[in-house]
Homo-oligomer: A and B are copies of this chain.
C-alpha cells in the first residue's frame, strides 16, 4: 500500500512520480497514540504537523458551559494541523478519537517541500481550502437544517471521504464515532442523535452496528441530507 498522504492527495490533485517521491523522502517520525488524547492544544505553537496513518481524529473547541463543538473529523491520509504551518498559535484543539498511528513532519521540511514542488504546494493548498469548504457545509447544516438532515449529511460526507481513500466500499464503512461525538459535531444532544439514527434505520436507509455503517439507500439518504459532494472537490467527482 502506498503512503496514506499520497493516496489522499491523489483524490484531490494530480501528482507526478517526482511528487510522490518527494513525499516518500520526507523525514517522518511515526508515533502511536491512544484514543481521546489531545495531540495539539489551543495555545500551542507546534513546530511540526502530523499525517494520520491510521485512526480517526477530530478538532474541537470547548466552551465555558462545558459543551464541546467538534469542527472536523479527520481520517487516514489527512494532515489535520497544516494550519499551524502558517498561523503559529493553535486556536483550537486537535485530538484522537480512536487509537491512532501518526506520522510527524517538521515544519521546515514542509516549507521546503512547498517551495521546491509547486505542484505539491498547490495540492496542500487545495487540501486546506477543502477543509474550509467542509466547515462551510457543516455550518449550513447546523444553522439551517433540521436534526435528521444534519445527521444524514454527516453520514454521507464521512462515507464519501472514506470511500475516496479506499476505506469504504459498496457504501459500507467503519465508523468508530460515538453518538455523543456525532452530537458534538452536529450541534445536537446525543439523545437526539440516537433518535434520528433510529429514524434513518426505520426508514431502511442505513444500518449502524458495532461501528459499522452501511448505507442501504444512498439516493434517499443524500436527498434528505441535501448532500452535494461538489464541496469536497474530489477529482473523481469532477
Contact = CB atoms under 8 A, between A and B. Distances in A.
Interface string A76-87: 000000010111
A230 interface: yes
A139 B69 contact: yes
A215 to B, nearest CB: 21
A27 interface: no
Interface residues on A, range: 35 or more
Copies of the polypeptide in the assembly: 2
A88 B125 CA distance: 12
Given A86-B122, A87-B129, A130-B87, A71 B136 contact: yes
A139 B135 contact: yes
Contact of A87 (B86, B89, B92, B133): B133
A65 interface: yes
Nearest to A187: B143
Interface of A: 59, 61, 63-65, 67-69, 71, 83, 85-89, 91-92, 115, 118, 122, 125-126, 128-133, 135-140, 142-145, 186-187, 226, 230-231, 233
Please provide the 9 A-B residue pairs with the shortest distance between their CB atoms, ordered closest to farther: A143-B187, A91-B231, A69-B140, A86-B125, A67-B144, A132-B132, A69-B143, A135-B135, A69-B144
